[in-house]
Structure 1
Amino acid sequence: MAILVQDIRESFESSPFFNHMGIEIIHFEEHSVKIKLTINEHVLNANGTLHGGVHATMLDFIQGMLLRSITKTRCATLNLNTQYLAAISEGDIFAEANVLQLGYKLAFLEGEIKDSFGKIVAKGTGTFKVIRGSESI
Structure 2
Amino acid sequence: MATTLELIKEDFKNNSFFQYIGFEIVEFEEDRVKIKLDIKEVLLNTNGTLHGGVYATMLDFIQGMLLRAVTKERCVTTNLTTHFLGSVSSGEIFAEAMILQLGYKLAFLEGEITDTDGRLLGKATGTFKIIREK
Q: TM-score range by the shorter chain?
A: over 0.9
Matched with 1:96 is 96
Matched residue SS, 2:125: strand
What is the letter of the counterpart of residue 70 of structure 1?
Answer: V
Matched with 2:116 is 116
Matched with 1:53 is 53
What is the letter of the counterpart of residue 119 of structure 1?
Answer: R
In the alignment, the residues of structure 2 paired with residue 105 and residue 27 of structure 1 have an alpha-carbon distance, to the nearest angstrom, of 26
Counterpart mapping for 1:25-44 below 5 A: 25-44=25-44
**Structure 1 segments of 4+ aligned residues over 4 angstroms from their partners:** none
In the alignment, the residues of structure 1 paired with residue 66 and residue 117 of structure 2 have an alpha-carbon distance, to the nearest angstrom, of 23
In the alignment, the residues of structure 2 paired with residue 7 and residue 31 of structure 1 have an alpha-carbon distance, to the nearest angstrom, of 16
Deviations 1:19-62 (A, max 9, x none): 00100000001010000000010100000000000000000000
* Residue 121 of structure 1: how far off its partner (Å): 0.3
Matched with 1:7 is 7
Asked if 1:106 corresponds to 2:106, the answer is: yes
Q: Which runs of 5+ in 1 are unaligned?
A: none
In the alignment, the residues of structure 1 paired with residue 40 and residue 18 of structure 2 have an alpha-carbon distance, to the nearest angstrom, of 15
What is the identity percentage for the equivalent residue pairs of Structure 1 and Structure 2?
61
Matched with 2:16 is 16
Asked if 1:132 corresponds to 2:132, the answer is: yes
Cα RMSD for the two superposed structures: 1.1
Matched residue SS, 1:69: helix
With structure 1 as the length reference, what TM-score do the two structures score? Answer: 0.95
Matched with 1:85 is 85
Q: Which runs of 5+ in 2 are unaligned?
A: none
What is the letter of the counterpart of residue 89 of structure 2?
Answer: S
Equivalenced residues, count: 133
